[in-house]
Amino acid sequence: MQCPHCNVNIHVNFRKNLIGEDKKGTWFILEDKCSACGNFLIYLELNETEYPSDAFQIGQLIPVDKILVYPKACNVKTPHAAVPEDLKKDFIEASLILNDSPKASAALSRRCLQSTLRDQENINEGSLIKEIEQAMVSLPSYIADAIDSIRQIGNFAAHPMKSDSTGEIVEVEAGEAQWNLDVLELLFDFYYVQPSMLKEKQEALNKKLADIGKPPMKTSL
């Protein structure tokens, strides 16, 4: 898993402490420390029982929900200054609510993805699936594969509202919300960050050329 404190990929071995039972099921606290940053990771886990009368004794507890208690929110990465403010705002908000509401996070990130593609690609506006298909034609294969996997992981065939009504809060598949954010970071880097950094380097070089009386570099940026 990815540590919500430091964003490093780590292996965890949670200690499971029983809290008790209520009408919803059996509750546990899961806790471990990040091997990279040393901070605690604490989750609240709800389990249902397949055989309520003796489930706990025979180990038939079925985890159905896990809520991150500490840290309250992930260590949110602030997008580069080159990323437009409206996209940056949606990305940060989607990151902040990722653990509390993956459905809401995915809704925001899908809307952000659609806005990014419309901002950068000459596409005919329509459903998110159609816009992804159009954008894939002009993108490098590794990025095209990444955005195409959004609809595969998200099972858009079963949830067409994800494509037809971007921003709607609907059920999400496991890992879908996090993957959307990962793909957005990739697109931000390709569309905004790398061109911005290259432009800065070219401007610096042109200044040096001008200082020695030479013409500037030819560039399409």
* pLDDT of 56 above 60: no
User: Phi and psi of 75, rounded to 5°?
Assistant: -70, 95
Rg of the chain in Å (alpha carbons): 22
User: Phi and psi of 17, rounded to 5°?
Assistant: -115, 120
Q: What stretches of 50-91 adopt beta strand conformation (E)?
A: 61-70
Residue 170: partners with Cβ closer than 8 Å, 6 or more residues away: 103, 107, 159, 161, 162
pLDDT in tens, 35-51: 999 999 999 999 987 65
Residue pointed to by tokens 């008790």: 20
- Pick the closest to residue 102 from 170, 1, 12 (CA basis): 170
pLDDT at 52: 55
Average pLDDT over residues 62-83: 82
The answer to whether the beta carbons of residues 59 and 25 sit under 8 Å apart is no
Share of the chain above pLDDT 90, in %: 43
What does the longest C-alpha to C-alpha distance in the chain come to?
A: 87
The domain limits of the chain are: 15-70, 85-197
Res. 75 pLDDT band, cuts 50 70 90: low
Secondary structure (3-state) at 45:
strand
pLDDT at 96: 86
The answer to whether the beta carbons of residues 138 and 191 sit under 8 Å apart is no
Sign of CA dihedral 145, 146, 149, 151: negative
Share of the chain above pLDDT 70, in %: 91
* pLDDT of 172 above 90: no
pTM equals 0.66
d(CA 4, CA 67): 13
Cα–Cα–Cα angle for 172, 178, 132, rounded to 5 degrees: 75
Average pLDDT over residues 124-137: 89
Query: Which one-letter DSSP state was computed for residue 218?
Result: P
Alpha-carbon distances of 66 from 29, 63, 133, 158, rounded to whole Å: 9, 8, 34, 24
Secondary structure (3-state) at 116:
helix
Average pLDDT over residues 192-213: 83
Tally of helices (H runs) and strands (E runs) in the chain? 8, 4
